[in-house]
Amino acid sequence: MKTSEFAGFSPETFDFLWGIRLNNNKEWFAEHKKDYVDRLYEPMKALGQAAFRPFLDRPGNLLKVSRIYRDARMHYPVPYKESLWLCIRQDVEWWAENPCLYFEIRPEGASAGFLFWKPKTAILEAFRQDLIARPEVFPKIAEKCRKATGLPLTAEVYKRPKPCPIPELEPYFAWKGDIECTTSWEPGEALFDPKLGDELAEMFENLLPLYDYFGALTAKGV
């Protein structure tokens, strides 16, 4: 398959994204489809190929790049999405229940990083049990990723955290979902720079310990 080098997004990328937000109809899109392909979709595919480089020798991982078209069977009020995303994940059916590395672009800018959106209750329980069995392992992984990326690791928490026998691990026992280590950009030179592809690949590589840790938990099928 022929690949293209990522050349950066452009101001026209955001012109299109704002345009589809304000004119989410088939007539406007038909008039601007070339802008969608040239300014948004093709650069997004090229960025995904660049970001996937650390995974080329890691079987079992997929690169997915979304399209702008909504599923007509779902009866959405508008026919098109207002953002595009790419993600690297395991070859699984339902991505939200599995860890992923992602990049998303929308009218206001972009975000990227590690995301474990909706882990199953059984996976969270396995996580807590692993914390008890190996209390030094996950904190070291979290700290390693924090130091490598400079990004915080956050999560949605329970209103009433689970009882934790090890005080130092209490913050992790409170995790409910939406586990993420992410960054964001406003529209501007950082997103227009061709080096974004290499920078995203480096970020994803630095986040691999998190991705692999939670990937191993989900792979057990608990």
Q: The tokens of 49 are what?
A: 């190929």
pLDDT tens profile 149-173: 999 999 999 988 789 999 999 999 9
Whole-number Cα distances in Å, 154 to 18, 32, 106, 132, 183: 29, 38, 22, 20, 12
pLDDT of residue 169: 95
pLDDT at 54: 86
Quick: pLDDT tens for 43-90.
999 999 999 998 988 888 999 999 999 987 777 889 999 999 999 998
Structure confidence by residue, pLDDT tens digits, 14-27: 999 999 999 999 99
Task: Evaluate if residue 222 carries a pLDDT over 70.
Answer: no
* Mean pLDDT (the chain, rounded): 92
What pLDDT is stored for residue 1 in this prediction? 40
Q: What pLDDT, on a 0 to 100 scale, did the predictor assign at position 95?
A: 65
Report pLDDT digits (tens) over 77-95. Answer: 899 999 999 999 987 766 6
- pLDDT tens for residues 182-202? 999 999 999 999 999 999 999
pLDDT 10s digits, 98-113: 899 999 999 999 999 9
Residues ≥6 apart with Cβ < 8 Å to 109: 184, 185, 186, 187, 191
- The domain limits of the chain are 11-219
Its CATH class, for the domain covering 11-219, is alpha beta
Q: What is the pLDDT of residue 93?
A: 66
- Interacting residues of 51 by C-beta distance below 8 A, sequence separation 6+: 63, 86, 88, 101, 103, 197, 200, 201, 204
pLDDT at 2: 46
